[in-house]
Amino acid sequence: MRKSYYAAHVYMIIGVVSGLFYREFTKAEDFTGDTQLGLVHTHVLTLGMIGFLIVLALDKLFRLSGTRLFTAFFWFYNAGIAVSTGMMAVHGILTVLGRDEDHIAEAVPLTAGFGHILLTVGLVLLFVLLGKRVDEHVRPPRPDHEHPAPDPVG
């Protein structure tokens, strides 16, 4: 559970700082158009902070952490957020600096797409784990006295 709390906290800080950077950078460059840079802070706050606060609550209810699936989810999802929002920031900075779509390297959107794939893998892992835990709550194991005793004659 601590991992989710720390992740949410770090994403809150990154989200607020990225919003401040967007505002100050565009002001310093006298930029008034549309840029992906303005979306970075909302993506970090939503996917990162709010996402991990939800995972924290689900972990409290369903004991998600401490499993291999949770660890895999945690790292895939975090990598996906980092790559996707990092490429949004790069794309946005290049736009503010005057590059149009034709002059932004093809690697930027391709890498962003890879980040989205990582996010998807992380979310699939989370839902697999959550599905297993929900099933355990719906169908709890039977107490020992309800299991038939083994036949002693054999």
DSSP string, 32-69: -S--THHHHHHHIIIIIIIHHHHHHHHHHHH--TTSHH
CA distance 74 to 83: 14
Answer whether residue 54 is part of any domain. yes
Provide the domain limits for residue 110.
Answer: 2-139
Answer whether residue 131 is part of any domain. yes
Answer whether residue 153 is part of any domain. no
pTM of the entire structure? 0.87
Answer whether residue 144 is part of any domain. no
Answer whether residue 83 is part of any domain. yes
Residue 100's contacts (CB-CB under 8 Å, 6 or more residues apart) are none
- Is residue 50 scored above 90 in pLDDT? yes
CA distance 77 to 126: 9
Handedness of CA 28, 34, 36, 38 (dihedral sign): positive
CA distance 64 to 57: 10
- Is residue 145 scored above 80 in pLDDT? no
Looking at residue 102, what is its pLDDT? 84
- Is residue 59 scored above 60 in pLDDT? yes
Residue 153: pLDDT band with limits 50, 70, 90: low
Answer whether residue 23 is part of any domain. yes
Looking at residue 151, what is its pLDDT? 58
Answer whether residue 44 is part of any domain. yes
Looking at residue 103, what is its pLDDT? 82
CA distance 59 to 70: 10
CA distance 129 to 124: 9
- Is residue 154 scored above 60 in pLDDT? no
Answer whether residue 56 is part of any domain. yes
Counted domains in the chain: 1
